[in-house]
A and B are shown apart, each in its own frame.
Chain A
Amino acid sequence: MSVAPSAGLGLKPQHFDAALAAPADGLWFEVHPENYMVAGGPRLAWLEAIRARHPLSLHGVALSLAADAPPDAAYLARLAALVDRFEPALVSEHLAWSTWQGAYRPDLLPFPRTSQALTRIAANVERAQDALGSPIALENPSHYLVIDGHDWDEIDFLETLARRTGCGLLLDVNNVFVSARNLGLSAEAYIDAFPGALVAEIHLAGHTADPSLGAALLVDTHDAPVDPAVWALYERLIARIGPRPTLIERDDNLPAFDELMKEHARAESVLRAPLRRAA
């Protein structure tokens, strides 16, 4: 099944009851599959209950596609089992690495975008898609560091990966804003250049200024409401490429479910704007 180009919410266990009670109309939920890679118990039962009422998106953080090694076979098997069981409308991952030499680091780590990396990542994406039996979407990560040795611009890199592997792209607008600020680039130029036809999903989230460096370093913390500047970039994007499934991501400093539903409603209104114009 596919998800309508409507707005969804990141789902945290604290909100399970409210999420179950929420009106089902077009609302979809996204979870990190890693949190459900367990043999049994209440976590899986909760997700079953949610899935019975709403479309689901699985957004992985640990496939480690940008590692110079094939994806971990046991991890991939667990992910495939979740895909079989929950039949998600979307499956996505990051252009980053986290698992390396048998150890998982809970972050989305950077790498130099070389042609060697492109070849490796394309092979990893294909391996993952073969195991899952469906295409995945790849997300642009947040950047904090100036890295030597990039041979590729990020958008060209993502677009080439998509063309080679058939994967889609997940455009995280907050990541674009955070990265542009941190690296001194133009967020608008990035949003305008991103290949709209490949965008399978959009992410919106909040960020925080680094406690010691201040506004010179924005951190993709997902612990605050979506920033006004990110909403503006999102409106600019939707006006250009049309509506796409859009997620409000919140992972920390969780507000009441109703607060997230307000951001959800705002995204919905942006998504409907081009339709209104066309009507």
Chain B
Amino acid sequence: MSAASLRQFQDGLARALLEPELSPDDYAPEIARLAAQPAFAVYRNTVMKGCIDALQANYPSVARLVGEEWFRAAAAVYVRAHLPAHPTLAVYGEGFADFLVGFEPAAELPYLPGVARLDRFWTEAHTAPDEMPIEAAAVARLGPEALARTVLRPHASARWSWFDAQPIATLWRRNRYPQDGDEAEIDWRAEGVLVVRPGGSVGNVDLDAAGCEFLDACASGGTLADAAAAALTVDAHADLAHLMSQLLEAGTFGRMDHLDHYPPEQR
């Protein structure tokens, strides 16, 4: 065999694995002889099954909403276009929510990409770096002036989003953590949610639009005064004390800094 042929073999086999609709004439002869053997299906099936199983494990709420058959058919389309970029299948499917946005058969289910985003939040939170959460007591010790100059950085596992058209958090929760009594009709309204894993398990908290804005400001390095101002622009009546205690109780923050040293001209 020539020096390039291991590479050519791999290129040909890699293509044949994912494009079963091609005829033998589309392959190099050595690949055509492989693809013509009935056992070639073992490789095709194993690759597809491995990827689809991983997507189903990583997007359980989406799978429950649409049913296994629909999910696996959609997943197969995704897999052909987006093979895993690395072998940790527990985090495979980063782009699945975006894929669903443009997936024609999902057009009648406009909430599906949002639910997929929350499944993705769960995966990212579950595998995020470990970090001790800031405790409420550490913040309670601060006086009002110190508090205003405090910067609380969201925990490495914290993910949040505001969904302005659908009750994505409720839909997600009902399918991620199904319980008896879930039959009650869903109030079709905008919702926000925070997903965070301060310790060993992933939790979630309802957030309003002001709360999401507050965390956006914290994430971009704003002080608590900045974050409060941002929240109030969204909702002038936002209950910031309640928001803070809710966030601290959920373990939302991973680092606390104090801007004690303003440049002289700002003192």
Contacts and interface: CB of A to CB of B under 8 A. Distances in A.
B13 A109 contact: yes
Contacts of A212: 38
B126 A41 contact: yes
Contacts of A97: 10
A66 B6 CA distance: 9
Contact of A39 (B6, B34, B128): B128
Interface in B1-51: 1, 3, 5-7, 9-11, 13-14, 17, 30, 33-34, 37-40, 42-43, 46-47, 50-51
Contacts of B83: 103-105
Contact of B90 (A35, A99, A106, A210): A35
B251 to A, nearest CB: 14
Contacts of A68: 6-7, 10
Interface in B118-150: 126-131
Contacts of B42: 144, 210, 217, 219
B33 A148 contact: yes
Most chain-A CB neighbours within 10 Å: which of B11, B17, B39, B40? Answer: B39
B17 A105 contact: yes
Contacts of A34: 87-89
B267 interface: no
A148 B30 contact: yes
Given A100-B14, A106-B87, A107-B46, A40 B39 contact: no
Interface in A153-210: 182, 210
Given A144-B39, A210-B42, A104 B10 contact: no
B40 A112 contact: no
Contact of A38 (B7, B11, B37, B90): B90
B200 A42 contact: yes
A106 B200 contact: no
Interface residues of B, number: 45
A105 B14 contact: yes
Interface string B34-72: 100111101100110011001000000000000000000
Contacts of A140: none
Nearest to A61: B87
B131 to A, nearest CB: 8
Contacts of A35: 88-90
A147 B84 contact: no
B13 A40 contact: no
Contacts of B87: 34, 37, 61-62, 75, 98-99, 104, 106
Contacts of B91: 38
A104 B86 contact: yes
A144 B38 CA distance: 9
Contacts of B84: 103-104, 106
A101 interface: yes
B176 interface: no
Nearest to A183: B39
A52 interface: no
B241 interface: no
B186 interface: no
B129 A39 contact: yes
A106 B50 contact: yes
B47 A107 contact: yes
Contacts of B13: 109-110
Interface string B223-236: 00000000000000
B73 interface: no
B201 interface: yes
B88 A38 contact: yes
Interface string A218-261: 01000000000000000000000000000000000000000000
Interface stretch (A23-31, A114-122, A263-271): A114-122
Contacts of B7: 68
A240 B130 CA distance: 48
Contacts of A43: 90, 126-127
Rank and list the top 7 A-B pairs by shortest CB-CB distance, nearest first: A106-B50, A62-B87, A40-B130, A38-B127, A103-B83, A144-B39, A68-B6
8 contacts: A35-B88, A68-B7, A104-B87, A106-B50, A112-B5, A145-B43, A148-B30, A212-B38
